[in-house]
Amino acid sequence: MKTPRFTRTLHFRMSALFLLLLGLSVGGYYWWINATVFRTYQDKEEEIWYEEKAEDELAGLAAELTPLMDDGPLLGRMIGSYAEDVERFGVEVILFDGRGFNVTSSAPDSLAMAVKRVDAVLLHDMTREEWDFSSYPLPGNIDAYENRIFHVQPIFTARTDSLEPPDAFLAASFRPLTIGIDELDADWRNLGFQAMVLILIYTAVTALIIMAWASRRIRGLSRGVAAFADGDFAQRVPDGSGDEIGALGRHFNTMAGRIEQMMAELGAKEEFQRHLVANVSHDLRTPLASLRGYVETLSLDPGTLSRAERQRYLEIITGNLDHLDKLIERTLILSRLDSGQTETRREDFPLGELADAVVSRCLPIARQQGVEIELEEGEDPQGCMVRADALQIGQALQNLLENGIKFNRTGGRVRIRIIPREEDVEIVISDDGPGIDATDLPHIFDRFYTGSKSRTRRSLEDSGYLAEPSTSNGLGLAIAQKIVSGHGGRLEVASSPGQGTEFRFALGRATEQPGIAEAGG
């Protein structure tokens, strides 16, 4: 069952806490009143006398009085003596004759004058076991003596037949309370003052408890925010409650999580920039040093170098300049892709035509390396229509194709296959190169990663493979991966040493296929 929304508010919870404290206070006050003002007995001794001893003692007193019924003074002394023993319990004892007249009393100065006679039938009824002494025999007069009687003991002088009325009755009653009007008014004033004091105390205590409860939660939230402000971005605050403070804690934790993620991303970008500067500096330093060396060599006395040597040095200088130009170009491309400055303009175009144009641009490099390029398209070129950014996909294809040419063997082959599928078109580029070690595979798409020693120029040449001098900068595959992921795809690689390498990715089909459009017309 879903909890109503208002029960999760701070207002409801504070109100509920107030009512709970009010209920506890009223309950405590009621218990205190019953335990003090309205308690039945003053102490444990009085309770034991009334509950356990009263009936037996009064029966014993009645037995002692039975043979003395004709001796009035002695009856009075015996009852008075007993009354002194039970006076602390607020008990008065009266001896009535068979007609209900007062014979003698434990307090003759008060009750003897006030109680002259009690209905003998009522006294006889009170001797029965089933009589309820908690009832009021005379409900019209609550203060009547009859209503205060708590025990009646019958006395038989010469007869033993309990079915006949007794000859006398020994009645025990509570002492009457006398309260004057002035005392009653004073009591009401005291009660009013006490009630006001209790209300003020209750209000103050309740306010302190509620504020302490709310302040404790706010302090926890404040400590978390302060720690976060001091730089502890992993700090979170309690957010388990459903009220406004809990909602504030959840919002803060969400904000803190986003800020922590942003700080991590900024740290990663800063780290990447440091690596970028270091790697670019390294990659620039090598060709620049080579350029400086060859330029200085060319600046020597012309007679010391042959025409062929000068031409070879100039070609090396040109190659290094081309490498620098490509390095700077690819660095700029990758920087634009990372910063989101490159706008992706999707359009429908035939992937086969784009792949053919890329192959044409790479043929001179392939022929120079002695590598063949094969392009395999589907039987229906129109079925290879895709929707993507043609310039970016062309850049990715060129980078993958150049990578396959660069790391290949003489007489090797690079194959480009375009495979139409039901929902997309897959592009597969494979080569006959040396393959990639398993330790290098997870890093080949990292910027400036050029692989382990197994793919260095010397090791490749020793194994019969080619690697174009000074052209590996570790950016081509990173750019291709960035472009493919920007189109919602994934650039996958499969390779093993000595078995070549295969890259594949897929592009979404065009929104409208030409053949379908013509059929629909």
What CATH number should be reported for the domain whose range is 46-178? 3.30.450
| CB atoms near residue 258 (< 10 Å) | 10
pLDDT of residue 491: 92
Can you read off the two tokens belonging to residue 375? 């392009």
What single letter denotes the amino acid at residue 98? G
Q: What is the pLDDT of residues 62-117, one digit of tens each?
A: 888 888 888 888 888 888 888 888 888 888 889 999 899 988 888 766 654 578 88
Q: Could you give phi then psi for residue 302, rounded to 5 degrees?
A: -55, -25
CA-based diameter of the chain, in Å? 172
**What is residue 275's predicted lDDT score, i.e. its pLDDT?**
63
What are the DSSP calls for 233-252, one per residue?
TT-------SSHHHHHHHHH
Class for domain 346-517, per CATH? alpha beta
As given in the structure block, the two tokens for residue 118 are 């009690």
- The tokens describing 245, both together, are 């403070």
Nearest of 368, 389, 386, 369 to residue 378 by alpha carbon? 386
User: Tokens 């302060």 appear where?
Assistant: 226
CA distance 362 to 365: 6
Place of tokens 């970016």: 392
Cα 113 versus chain centre, distance: 80
List, by residue range, all CATH 3.30.450 domains of the chain.
46-178
Percentage of residues of the chain with pLDDT beyond 90: 13
Spatial separation of the C-alpha atoms in residues 420 and 406, rounded to whole Å: 28
CA dist 405 and 367 (Å) reads 10
Q: In angstroms, rounded to a whole number, what is the distance separating the alpha carbons of residues 124 and 132?
A: 13
Please list the alpha-helical segments (H only) found in 66-180.
72-86, 111-114, 120-126
Beta-strand pair 413-420/372-376:
parallel
Interatomic CA distance for residues 21 and 2, integer angstroms: 27
CA distance 210 to 202: 12
* Helix H or strand E encompassing 155: strand 149-155
Cβ contact 206:20 at 8 Å: no
Structure tokens at 64: 């002692």
Beta strands in 380-500 (DSSP E): 385-388, 408-409, 413-420, 424-431, 465-466, 492-495
407 phi and psi angles, rounded to 5 deg: -100, 75
* Neighbouring-strand partners of residue 415: 374, 430
Q: Specify the DSSP class assigned to residue 132.
A: -
Q: Which residues of the chain have pLDDT under 50?
A: 112, 453-471, 514-521
Q: How far apart, in whole angstroms, are the C-alpha atoms of residue 443 and residue 400? A: 16
Residue 323: what pLDDT? 65
> pLDDT of 109-150, one tens digit each?
665 457 888 999 999 999 988 999 888 898 888 778 888 899
Q: Where in the chain is the domain with CATH 3.30.565.10?
A: 346-517
**Cα angle 16, 19, 25; round to 5:** 145
Q: Whose CA is closest to 175, among 220, 132, 143, 131?
A: 143
Separation of alpha carbons 296 and 290, rounded Å: 10
- Predicted local confidence at residue 448, as pLDDT: 65
- What tokens appear for 87 in the block? 């006076």
Residue 389 to residues 252, 345, 394: CA-CA distances in angstroms? 41, 5, 8
Rounded Cα distance, 215 and 208, in Å: 10
Q: For residue 332, how far is the Cα from the chain centroid?
A: 45
β-pairing, 413-420 vs 492-495, is unpaired
Give whole-number Cα distances, 200 to 29, 206, 399, 452, 517, in Å.
Answer: 14, 10, 84, 83, 87
d(CA 107, CA 45): 23
C-alpha pair distances (Å), 164 with each of 63, 117, 301, 331, 427: 18, 20, 163, 128, 124
β-partners of residue 504 are: 428, 492
pLDDT digits (tens, 9 = 90+) for 4-33: 665 666 666 677 777 777 777 777 777 776
First to last CA, the chain: 58
Calculate the alpha carbon distances from 231 to 259, 461, 506 in Å: 11, 53, 44
- C-alpha–C-alpha distance, residues 355 and 425, integer Å: 13
What CA–CA distances, in Å, run from 467 to 18, 185, 372, 443, 480? Answer: 82, 115, 15, 19, 20
Alpha carbon distance 45, 51 (integer Å): 10
- Residue 374, SS3 per DSSP: strand
